Amino acid sequence: MKTFLTALMASAALLQFAVPTGAMADDAKPLAGQHLTVLLPPWGTLPKEMTDRFTAKTGIVLDAQTLGWDDIHTKIVTSTVANAAPGDATEVDWSWVGQFGASKWYQPLDGAVDASAVADAPTAKIFTYDGKLLAVPYSNDFRVLIYNKAQLSKAGINTPPTTPDELLRDAKAIKDAKIADYPIGLPLSATEGTSTAWYLLTKAFGGDLFDKDFKPLFVDANSAGYKALAFEIQAMKDGLIDPSMTGLKDVEVQELFKSGKISFDVAGWAGNLSVYADPSKSQVANDVAAALMPSTTGSTRTIGLPEAIGIPTAAGNAKAAAAFVNFMLEPETEIAAYKALGNMPPRLSVLKELEGQGALKDGDVLLKQAATVEPVFAQGTPGWYPEFSSAVAAAINQAAKGQLTVDQAIQQIAAAAQSASQD
């Protein structure tokens, strides 16, 4: 009996200590067991080892859904109009801020996410509308010229082009040497990637799209925007751009670069350097290099197109969504996302850490280009941007197919800008 009582008392003592331990574990994971739906494009969808780490840390069951960039915007609009949430947390592109903010489709994140981490990400201010933070960036996307240095070398080219004319000249030399049939990679389908490539080239030709009052600056034949479109169409006519580009999105152009079929990714995503240089993902891993964006003025310019995560107003699980947003801001997550997906870290401290480790491919070029990043709209992205962008992509696509002249396409874009801004 004494032995039994002694054992019973010992068991009770163990239980006394076991209960608080379980309670502490529950306190550490107050959202354990909850389900979270996250909707992101392919380049934002985390690999399993990263989502497993999120679940292990929070106990939240994650349903990661992937859609194309354009398809996500469509789903957000149609779902929200139907008073439904497209997900608990979704992609919010820089270009959607005006539309989403004016419509109050997304919850302000002020107070729900780590303020110090947000302050460490300068592009977060692009996702502020009416003084409220609508989304937090997960990809510090800006554009650089990415090229295949081995193909340039075979054509006798020792340095990357610094002007648009040099880019055309080098592409012709590569084509003439039968190194690549179509050296220049530019999306020309009726999609957002086509629009942003034109915005980038407008900067390369030394201009801007609009003045401070959103009056188009690209209508005149001597304007930068007009010359940028003429550059694209001339490259197509000269056989430097594959006609199939009229049906390809930017991510499909990237696949062609990885396979060695094109020499220049003209509107290259800075973060993609890490993907292009990965032998497990790219056939040109040893040949890829980055250069500052060509310019007609002698001073390189580029655009920033950051992407973020926001929480829809109709989201069913906002607390779990906020936990995911905070997870995406963690240095460990940003570094892992850069190495796995090529997403350039939005936090400056993380970017500097990678450069210090020598982990940034062509880090010197990236940091120089990063210092020149400009928003597409200095005044802030207007609410009518989605309509304008769609019109830009459609007009460029028609011009690339020979259905419109450059002048007709430019006039069509200008008319769309006027119509969209007045609606």
Tell me, yes or no, whether 163 lies in a domain: yes
pLDDT of residue 339: 87
Q: Are residues 214 and 355 in the same domain?
A: no
pLDDT of residue 3: 35
H-helix or E-strand containing 345? none
Question: What percent of the chain stands above pLDDT 70?
Answer: 93
Instruction: Copy the structure tokens of residue 365.
Output: 């070029």
Residue 27 — very low, low, confident or very high, per pLDDT cuts 50/70/90?
Answer: low
With H, G, I as helix, E, B as strand and everything else as coil, classify residue 21. Answer: helix
Residue 299 clears pLDDT 90, i.e. is over it: yes
Q: Are residues 271 and 211 in the same domain?
A: yes
Residue 290 bridge partners (DSSP): 146
Quick one: average pLDDT of 37-45? 95
Q: Please, are residues 276 and 284 in contact by the beta-carbon 8 Å criterion?
A: yes
With H, G, I as helix, E, B as strand and everything else as coil, classify residue 228. Answer: helix
The CATH number for 285's domain is 3.40.190.10
Number of domains in the chain: 2
Q: Are residues 38 and 169 in the same domain?
A: no
Q: How many CB atoms lie within 10 A of CB 249?
A: 19
Q: Are residues 296 and 311 in the same domain?
A: no
Q: Are residues 132 and 167 in the same domain?
A: no
With H, G, I as helix, E, B as strand and everything else as coil, classify residue 390. Answer: helix
Residue 8 clears pLDDT 60, i.e. is over it: no
Tell me, yes or no, whether 1 lies in a domain: no
d(CA 147, CA 180): 12
**CA distances from residue 278 to 27, 231, 258, 264, 288 in whole angstroms, order as listed:** 41, 31, 10, 18, 10
- Among 4-8, 219-223, 344-348, name the one with the lowest average pLDDT: 4-8
Tell me, yes or no, whether 24 lies in a domain: no
Question: How far does Cα 323 stand from its chain's mean position?
Answer: 22
d(CA 207, CA 218): 8
Q: Are residues 309 and 354 in the same domain?
A: yes
Tell me, yes or no, whether 180 lies in a domain: yes
pLDDT of residue 26: 55
Which has the higher per-residue pLDDT, 377 or 201? 201
pLDDT digits (tens, 9 = 90+) for 398-414: 999 999 999 999 999 99
d(CA 92, CA 74): 12
As a whole number, the mean pLDDT across the chain is: 91
pLDDT digits (tens, 9 = 90+) for 46-99: 999 999 999 999 999 999 999 998 899 999 999 999 999 999 999 999 999 999
Q: Are residues 192 and 235 in the same domain?
A: yes
Q: Are residues 175 and 152 in the same domain?
A: yes
pLDDT of residue 69: 87
247 φ, ψ (degrees, to nearest 5) = -120, 10
- Residues of the domain holding 388: 143-303+384-422
128-129 and 132-133 beta bridge pairing: antiparallel
Residue 271 — very low, low, confident or very high, per pLDDT cuts 50/70/90?
Answer: confident
pLDDT digits (tens, 9 = 90+) for 144-164: 999 999 999 999 999 999 999
Quick one: average pLDDT of 317-331? 97
Q: Are residues 264 and 404 in the same domain?
A: yes
Q: Are residues 48 and 162 in the same domain?
A: no
With H, G, I as helix, E, B as strand and everything else as coil, classify residue 360. Answer: coil
Tell me, yes or no, whether 159 lies in a domain: yes
Q: Are residues 164 and 291 in the same domain?
A: yes
Instruction: Copy the structure tokens of residue 362.
Output: 């062509």
Quick one: average pLDDT of 250-269? 96
Residue 35 — very low, low, confident or very high, per pLDDT cuts 50/70/90?
Answer: very high
Residue 13 clears pLDDT 70, i.e. is over it: no
Q: Are residues 206 and 70 in the same domain?
A: no
pLDDT digits (tens, 9 = 90+) for 105-135: 999 999 999 999 999 998 898 899 999 999 9
pLDDT of residue 220: 97
Q: How many CB atoms lie within 10 A of CB 41?
A: 18
pLDDT digits (tens, 9 = 90+) for 343-396: 999 998 998 899 899 888 998 999 888 888 888 988 788 889 989 999 999 999
Tell me, yes or no, whether 38 lies in a domain: yes
Q: What angle do CA 390, 78, 310 make, to 5 degrees?
A: 85
Which has the higher per-residue pLDDT, 167 or 126? 167
Tell me, yes or no, whether 26 lies in a domain: no
Tell me, yes or no, whether 3 lies in a domain: no
Residue 362 CB partners (closer than 8 Å, separation 6+): 273, 289, 290
Instruction: Copy the structure tokens of residue 317.
Output: 């699980």
